């Protein structure tokens, strides 16, 4: 099945061009944790800065240094390779005696603490970015304010970017084979999780692209699942047309957004017309709800907000280079924000191994 990447919300405006990640220093990512370590407990929390280290490589380095399996290492989210990243990791407290001997040229321990539970995937509110775009176009300074105003008004479609799908979409293809083709095929546990998630992500992108094409990204559909923005509870929109204006007004004020499907056997369902739309999308991908029972632990299903509204701060210009700062909620991709400004189709480029500009995960709503 062909992967679909939704168009830019700024597609009718001139982009600023340029490149990013010329050096790791051009791309700084810092986690915004869901909670701070309590200072007590059986787990050692390390606030770590790494430079130009892929996510899997990072775990393997820690595994060797602290003489534990990668499964014993707690990480809230995957981080990009070509970047400077700061994040918490957790280890069993009994490994602390090895910390003094830890020495790696690309990984620095900035702080330590303790907590009562292992850090788990999804234990973060989002990520904070400081990014330098180099070599922008000759009219970039005039174009950038127009782009930022559009994003302030319309937000950014919360699509998954190419990092989710692997080099030449291999991760996506593996997910499809596991669910529909060769379920008996042996795949390492970490890759199985990523591959099945990539399959879900690709279907969500198709859902999002369809809504944009039909002009429904900012319109409440009767019976659809809505969510508070940027985070909070989920609920169904009314079925009755007469009751929709109130929710539409809240959407126009960016209080709520549509919450599209990350398909799974436990997905919070839509109703009425919205349910019909989501069922048709499954049919396009030759999927049925029963398919997701094959991977019950990894494909429960959840909802992902269709639109995010990042506040982008321009830190300054140096010639044709501009430095930006913004925050994104957990699971959202910085490259989707940059694409809206630069109009660079990152989806057509070869991704770096294990690269991910978000935390790289989707999690059930609580």
Is 218 within 8 Å of 307 (Cβ atoms)?
Answer: yes
3-state secondary structure of 149: helix
Contact 119, 54 (CB under 8 A): no
Distance CA 137, CA 15 (A): 8
Q: How far apart are CA 164 and CA 262, in angstroms?
A: 14
Strand, coil or helix: what is 339? Answer: helix
Between CA 341 and CA 175 the distance in angstroms is 31
The encoded tokens of residue 104 equal 């790696």
Q: Which helix (H) or strand (E) holds 112?
A: strand 107-115
Residues 268, 303: Cα–Cα separation, whole Å:
7
- Active site includes 359? no
Alpha carbon distance 324, 210 (integer Å): 30
Beta bridge partners of 140: none
Active-site residue (options: 80, 161, 321, 359): 80
Distance CA 187, CA 178 (A): 9
CA dist 60 and 177 (Å) reads 27
DSSP three-state, residue 26? helix
Q: Enumerate the active-site residues.
A: 80
């Amino acid at each position: 099945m062909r992967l679909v990447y939704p168009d830019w919300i700024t597609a009718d405006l001139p982009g600023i061009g340029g490149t990013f990640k010329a050096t790791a220093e051009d791309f700084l990512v810092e986690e915004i944790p869901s909670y701070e370590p309590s200072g007590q407990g059986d787990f050692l929390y390390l606030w770590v800065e790494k430079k130009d280290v892929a996510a899997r490589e990072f775990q393997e380095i820690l595994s060797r240094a602290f003489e534990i399996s990668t499964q014993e290492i707690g990480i809230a989210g995957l981080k990009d390779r070509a970047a400077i990243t700061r994040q918490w990791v957790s280890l069993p407290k009994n490994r602390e005696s090895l910390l003094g001997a830890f020495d790696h040229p690309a990984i620095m321990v900035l702080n330590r603490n303790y907590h009562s539970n292992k850090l788990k995937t999804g234990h973060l509110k989002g990520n904070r970015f400081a990014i330098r775009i180099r070599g922008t176009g000759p009219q970039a300074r005039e174009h950038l304010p127009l782009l930022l105003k559009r994003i302030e008004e319309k937000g950014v479609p919360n699509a998954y970017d190419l990092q989710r799908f692997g080099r030449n979409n291999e991760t996506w293809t593996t997910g499809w084979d596991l669910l529909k083709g060769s379920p008996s095929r042996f795949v390492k546990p970490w890759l199985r999780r990523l591959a099945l998630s990539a399959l879900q992500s690709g279907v969500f992108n198709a859902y999002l692209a369809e809504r944009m094409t039909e002009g429904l990204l900012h319109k409440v559909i009767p019976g659809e699942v809505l969510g508070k923005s940027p985070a909070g509870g989920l609920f169904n929109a009314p079925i009755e047309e007469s009751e929709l204006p109130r929710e539409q007004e809240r959407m126009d004020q960016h209080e709520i957004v549509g919450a599209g499907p990350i398909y799974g056997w436990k997905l919070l369902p839509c109703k009425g017309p919205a349910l019909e739309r989501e069922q048709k999308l499954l049919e396009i991908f030759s999927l049925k709800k029963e398919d997701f029972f094959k991977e019950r632990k990894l494909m429960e299903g959840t909802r992902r907000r269709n639109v995010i509204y990042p506040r982008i701060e321009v830190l300054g210009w140096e010639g044709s280079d501009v430095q930006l700062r913004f925050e994104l909620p957990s699971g959202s991709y910085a490259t989707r924000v940059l694409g809206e400004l630069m109009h660079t189709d990152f989806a057509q480029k070869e991704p770096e191994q294990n690269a991910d500009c978000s935390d790289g995960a989707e999690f059930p709503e609580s």
